[in-house]
Every structure is written in C-alpha cells, then in structure tokens.
Amino acid sequence: MFFVLSKTMHYLLTPVLWIVVLFIVAFIVRKPKLKIRLFVLAGIILLLFSNSFIQDEFMRWWEVDATAQTELKESYSYGIVLSGMISYDNKYDRINFLRSSDRLLQAIDLYKDGKIKKIFITGGSGELNNPNFKEAEILRNYLVKIGIPENDILVETDSRNTFENACASAKLLKPQKSSDTYLLITSAFHMRRSAACFKKAGFDFDVYVTDRYAGNRKFSFDHLIVPNVYALSRWTLLIHEVSGFLVYKIVGYC
C-alpha cells in the first residue's frame, strides 16, 4: 500500500500539474475577478518554477556535497549502488540509460581504480505496471558484458524503493556482523534519504555522490531570466525527494 501511495503522490506533487489545473479552472470559472486571479497565480507559479537560477539554489541546498576520490579510504569491501537508472526496451532488447546511470559509471571508475573491491547493486522494479522488471539483474549482466568479473558483482533484485533497498541490502551483507567496509553510491539529490535509510538498517559507510544537478553558480542572462522547461522537471524531482524524505521520517523508515 505504501508503495502505491508513494507513486500516486509523485504525480500529484508536480508543478506542471498545478499550473495546468489552475489554467483549466481559470477557463471554467465565470467570475471575472477570480478568473484573473487564477490566471495570474498560474503565471507566477510558471515563471518561478521555470527559473533555472532559483531551481539551482534550492537543489544546491538539498544535494549532498561531492567527495573527491582522494578523500576516501584506500579501499572499500563493497560499493553499494542504488538502482533507478535505466529503462529497458523490449522491442530492441537493449538498455536505455537515464541520467542517473552516472551512479553505475562512477562505481565502475571506483572499481577500476581499486577503491571498491566489489560492486553491490540493489533494486528490482520501482514501476507499478511492471513488477517483474529486475533492474539490478540487468545491470549485472551489463557489467559482465563489459568485462567486470562476475565474482565481483553482487545484486539484490526484490526491493522497490529506498527503504527496501536498505533492508534487503542489510539481509544480504549483514553489516552488523561483518568487518566489511562500505561506500554508498547514489545521486546527490537522493543521498540524504539513502544515507538515512542505510544507517537505520545498521550500515556504517562513507558516501560518494554522483550526477549533481547544482554545479557552480551561473549569472548568465538565460540562466537568470529565460524560462526553462528543464527547471520544471528538476523541481518535480526535488519535491518528490524532499517529500519522500519527510514521509520516511514520519513513518520511521529512516
């Protein structure tokens, strides 16, 4: 039930939906003053949420800072990689890599540099309409295909969200009974919730963030003034993540 509700809330907490609903209501209502107010409100929300500079500042506040490889331990037993980075094209039998696939690329880089001895991928299907999708299994097959030894790749394929990622990983790796060391690898916007869940599950770890959205501050005209449709999508991502973190705190998941 929680999984279904979380997916439903993801669609409701979307600025584009709010804007569309306001415009539709504005067209329907007959009172001239209310109509104008609704149009103005929709326009203001559209301008605010499509501003790249404002969005960057909020994302910078939320994202966890990056860590240089030189700041890490000499090596870790496992690099724990959270899934949610691909879709699969059944028609052409191939992986479609999303932006968050930087998680996997960075893990490969860390493995090649000897910073992590094994790659552990956690995640099954996060989709309501495709529960049989096993992302971690697909990614393991991909890593083997590009030359990573199969013995150095572990996966769990049953978890559907961040809380389940942490719980399922703890069952397999048993961190409280092991002397292994762990490096948690996920997107910068996702690290707060992930780290909280993995700590709750009994892990002691260092973090390594990937695919940061907020880079250096930019003061160019287009970034400060010109509306950007991508800012709207990043707001959806940020609102979903912050609300998810708060809900996890309330229900005791982290």
Dist. CA 103–CA 119, nearest whole Å: 11
Instruction: Name the percent of the chain in helix, strand, coil, to the closest 5.
Output: 55, 15, 30
Question: What is the distance between the alpha carbons of residues 52 and 90, in angstroms, rounded to a whole number?
Answer: 35
Q: Averaged over 17-21, what is the pLDDT?
A: 93
Answer whether residue 3 shows pLDDT above 60: no
**Which helix (H) or strand (E) is 239 found in, with range?**
helix 229-251
* pLDDT digit string, tens, across residues 147-193: 999 999 999 999 999 999 999 999 999 999 999 999 999 999 999 99
pLDDT at 5 over 70: no
Decide: 83 and 97 in contact? Cβ < 8 Å: no
**C-alpha closest to that of 239 among 22, 10, 5, 64:** 10
Is 188 in a helix, a strand, or coil? Answer: helix
The amino acid that residue 183 corresponds to is L
In this prediction the pTM is 0.90
The DSSP H or E segment spanning 187 is strand 182-187
Alpha-carbon distance of 139 to 148, in angstroms, equals 11
pLDDT (average), residues 94-101 = 93
pLDDT at 156: 96
Res 112 pLDDT > 90: yes
CATH class of the domain at 69-210: alpha beta
Which tokens in the block code for residue 46?
């559209």
Residue recorded with tokens 């990689």? 81
Q: Quick one: tokens of 133?
A: 């999708």
CATH 3.40.50.620 domain range(s) in the chain = 69-210
Taking residues 197-210, report their average pLDDT. 97
d(CA 29, CA 36): 10
- Quick one: which H or E segment has residue 120? strand 116-122
List the one residue out of 212, 206, 244, 211 whose CA is nearest residue 80. 206
